[in-house]
Structure 1
Amino acid sequence: MNSSNNRVKKDVVVPLLVLATIFAGMLSPLQSAVNGQLGNTLHGDGNAAAVISFGSGLVVMTVIILARHSTRAQFASIPRKMRAHDLPWWNWIAGICGAMVVFSEGASASVLGVATFQTTLISGLVISGLLCDRFGIGVEVKQPFNFARILGAVCAIAATILVVSPNWSAPKVIGLAVLPFLAGILAGWQPAGNSAIAKETGSMLVSITWNFIVGFSILTVILLVRIGMGQVSFELPHVWWMYLGGPLGLLSIALMALLVRGLGLLLLGLASTAGQLIGSVLMDLLIPQLGAHVYMVTVLGALVALIGAGIAMIPSQKEAESTNN
């Protein structure tokens, strides 16, 4: 009887968690839209937009870290752990990946449209995930290329070509579309770095804060150099919601961390990807102020990206055996 009740409960709870994950996934295109409009306000300066977005997120994380003695102590241990060299150095600079994503949002999202931006970003992430699995970056068991994984990568490339195809005659737009694609490829190994730092310090909150510090520091140094060279005049925006990019990203991370416990990585990845793509298309359609035109190939490209992500997430026999053992 208990087994039957548990099955019924699971049949009800899992679909609700999937829906919650889809809505949580929609926070990513919302963040892209905010940072894109921020970059547009700053005359397309993705660097300045990324500094503001990272800065707002860092303020929130600093408050959270300082609020508890345990997280303060865990964060204070970072210099000592870095000197010990127990963790490969590249884990400590994983925040560069997030910096690249936010930079590309500020520089290109308002021009490309949220749907095109998210599709090219996710396509890059799919390919990056396959490469990380193949070379053992952040995973315990290396995953060789097989038909499903190669097909997922092909779908990702096809999705990118589809969503940028209406702009073949605009080289500048095509050039901007390369930014989120490259950011996605670079960001594929960021979760591995985040996870390693969290394990080393004993806190995912500390890991996230460190990522924000790394990204913010690098972007700020670049911006200060540009200001010193007279290449840019930096001015803070006066519209309050343009500071929400960082907090939206944090909210998405927090929700995913909660939802993964009830769904597992595979369902979470598929549902969140669906949310990102559905949300980005709806955003471009329902908010004409964003200035993006949604073509049929844009919708088709988003669908192909979702299929590619789903295929790429199918665990191989070797991975399944490792999980079962």
Structure 2
Amino acid sequence: MSKRAQNPRVCHGHTRPIVELSYSAVTPDGYFLTSASKDGQPMLREGQSGDWVGTFQGHKGAVWSCVLNEEAVVAATASADFSTRLWNALTGDEVHQFQHSHIARTVAFARRSPRLLSAGYEKILRLYDVERPDAAPAEIRGAPDKVRTAAWHQNDQLLLTAYIDQPGISVWDMRAERIVRTLETGKVVTSLEVQRDGTYLTTADGSEVRFWDGASLAPGKAFRQDWTVESASFCPAKGRFAAGGEDMWVHLYDYGTGEELECNKGHHGPVHTVRFAPDGETYASGSEDGTIRLWRTDWEAPENGAANGA
């Protein structure tokens, strides 16, 4: 594959850094992309084109997380304004507001039940019933540090949490509501991705991109970079992974060999988040510069050197 530069689709709209991107599953209406930003204006886009669909308006502080449920009809956000909010993703209307006593940093929908997890600086995991948002949440205490990000795993029986200041990933047994295992990492984990089929976990910590077996949670391959990685995403169907970080570039690698296939330039600040679309045809990056860029996974430079527009 040529390493000539791609010309990605650039999605404008945010005015401050983008800190999280998340794709929905494939639905009868296609798939969708959400973005969380420090501008407090989480957005919803059509996943293939990147076209803006709407903005969830109401937060009074930076939004650290924005996700959709499996059917892509409900959205949830976590914010520095000490709230988690539930939204109608079809109309953009706020459904409910959940108050916290400190910064809410992450939200995650369970895939097999109408539960929403939220966590942040309080070292508490909160579980809400999406179908009964007025009901008091279940609270699970015992998180060893402020929670940065979380992901459900193994048919929602496990929950994985990574932290602001502490290395490693906690594995929670959600039936017993306690930590049963810790996955060791050298540095603080800044990115945690679980494949929808549960086959792999992909993490970034320091200069390492790591892969874990989804069934056993045993460590697998690890690839060290010569720059600090903030986010990584894996597409097993393509045999490739993408990573971005402090060097402001978006890198695409061969999973089998670790060879760099592309080094995509264009962002004007560190890359905080990278995610593959569910069909693997593109991957998205979000940056300090406030833009989202959509890159083609199977792209080759034209022989005549002409620009390849998205």
**Shorter-chain TM-score tier:** under 0.3
Query: Structure 1 length normalisation: TM-score?
Result: 0.24
Query: Structure 2 length normalisation: TM-score?
Result: 0.25
- The structure whose residues are more often strand, as a share, is 2
- The structure whose residues are more often helix, as a share, is 1
Larger RCO: Structure 1 or Structure 2 (Cα < 8 Å, ≥ 6 residues apart)? Answer: 1
